[in-house]
Amino acid sequence: MMHKLDTTAVVVPGQWLGMLGGGQLGRMFCHAAQAMGYKVAVLDPDENSPAGAVANRHIRAAYDDVPALNELSSLCLAVTTEFENVPALSLETLASQTRVCPSAHAVAIVQDRIQEKAFIKGAGVPVAPYAEVSSQDQLAALPDDLFPGILKVARLGYDGKGQARVQNREQAAQAWVELGSLPCVLEAMLPLASEISVLIARGLDGQVAVYPPANNEHRDGILAVSTVAPGQHSEALEQQAAQAALDLAAALDYVGVMCVEFFVLSDGRLIANEIAPRPHNSGHYTMNASVCSQFEQQARVMAGLPTGATNSLCPVIMLNLLGDIWFDPSTQAMREPDWAAVLAIPGVSLHLYDKQGARPGRKMGHINIVASTLDAAHVSTAGVARLLGIPFQ
């Protein structure tokens, strides 16, 4: 049954919210929305998708399947997405029949690194020096000050995939071919002091909420550790990062939860790296250490409800759990981690995504460790890391 399109009305608990995408972010959204009393429909082609397994309805179809999109939009008063590589045209199709946030326009910009870099720069937020690489001529014309650099495919790259570090123009030319001669961005490598991310929510009425910045550590291009605690960064840096994220959201006319990743350079400058138009891995700490989690926030915003409080209740460290920990390092035989021992450590909360089949590099879950002080959180986190064989200092 079709419903009348209303882009401002509050969606009350008991009604349906929609999710395009069936991964772990969709799964955690389902849990949060259902806890608030909503029913959730998930559109995803995988019959074993983590979100589909817990949704009130799982529409198993391709993301561009028009009848499936029509079914989702006819059922749900608001629809969102859990990953940025969903076809923007699908969001446009949905938006003709129901509320969609974020918009197809906002998602389309951040789907393409070339557009994204230009947009961020145009919004007045600093980015690393970069150049588009879509032809041999552009390769030959690359300025010397972009080396050493990182060559990244413009579309569909994530978690370190689709990129290569290059020292000179010759390596860039070889890497470009190895990446399929696809449109790419070459970014200059900068002297980093740290990496942070800022998570925000922006409502239908422009109301905004900003979470404290997470300090992030990546390994092989995949987020490994996020830490949130008072005093990690100067107040001036935190305010600058928050304002930059809010400026980008306003320029996108963004509605929803959004994360902006930043580089903090050794000289103190702040450089925007990329925008994620969705909840973010580095925001998982909010599930145990914040008044309102990023997933509850996502449900609130798309339902037209007030944004929730974003202050942290205590210091917290998030450990990403990759499929590697299911393999014995000496034999590479599969083994189940000792969850009982992990959960015996003070302050630990385990979140697994119900993915079928662990493999190296695959995100299988995360652990949040909370404590009254950051030092105490570090002690507990070090114990968890030892048990699971995860590097941690």
Give the whole-angstrom CA distance, residue 390 versus residue 393: 10
pLDDT at residue 393, as a whole number: 81
CATH class for the domain made up of 16-100: alpha beta
9 pLDDT higher than 50? yes
Nearest-5° Cα angle at 55, 51 to 60: 70
Spell 251-260 as b/e; 16+ CB within 10 A means b: bbebbbbbbb
95 pLDDT higher than 80? yes
**In this predicted model, what pLDDT tens digit does every residue of 285-341 receive, in sequence order?**
999 999 999 999 999 999 999 999 999 999 999 999 999 999 988 887 899 999 999
- Region 263-273: what's the mean pLDDT? 96
**In this predicted model, what pLDDT tens digit does every residue of 15-24 receive, in sequence order?**
999 999 999 9
% of the chain exceeding 90 in pLDDT: 90
CATH class for the domain made up of 192-388: alpha beta
Q: pLDDT band for position 377 (50/70/90)? A: very high
- Region 216-222: what's the mean pLDDT? 92
Give the whole-angstrom CA distance, residue 361 versus residue 225: 14
Averaged pLDDT of the chain: 94
pLDDT at residue 15, as a whole number: 98
pLDDT at residue 331, as a whole number: 84
Give the whole-angstrom CA distance, residue 74 versus residue 59: 13
70 pLDDT higher than 90? yes
pLDDT at residue 330, as a whole number: 81
224: which DSSP letter?
Answer: E
1 pLDDT higher than 50? no
- Region 150-159: what's the mean pLDDT? 83
pLDDT at residue 160, as a whole number: 61
**In this predicted model, what pLDDT tens digit does every residue of 36-46 receive, in sequence order?**
999 999 999 99
**In this predicted model, what pLDDT tens digit does every residue of 109-150 receive, in sequence order?**
999 999 999 999 999 999 999 999 999 899 989 999 999 999
Q: Are 124 and 244 in contact (CB under 8 A)?
A: no
309: which DSSP letter?
Answer: P
CATH class for the domain made up of 129-188: alpha beta
Give the whole-angstrom CA distance, residue 393 versus residue 285: 19
The residue ranges of every structural domain in the chain are: 16-100, 129-188, 192-388
Q: Which of 64 and 161 is assigned the larger pLDDT?
A: 64
Give the whole-angstrom CA distance, residue 350 versus residue 365: 8
pLDDT at residue 2, as a whole number: 47
Q: pLDDT band for position 7 (50/70/90)? A: low
Helix (H/G/I), strand (E/B), else coil: 26: helix
pLDDT at residue 5, as a whole number: 55
251 pLDDT higher than 60? yes
159 pLDDT higher than 80? no
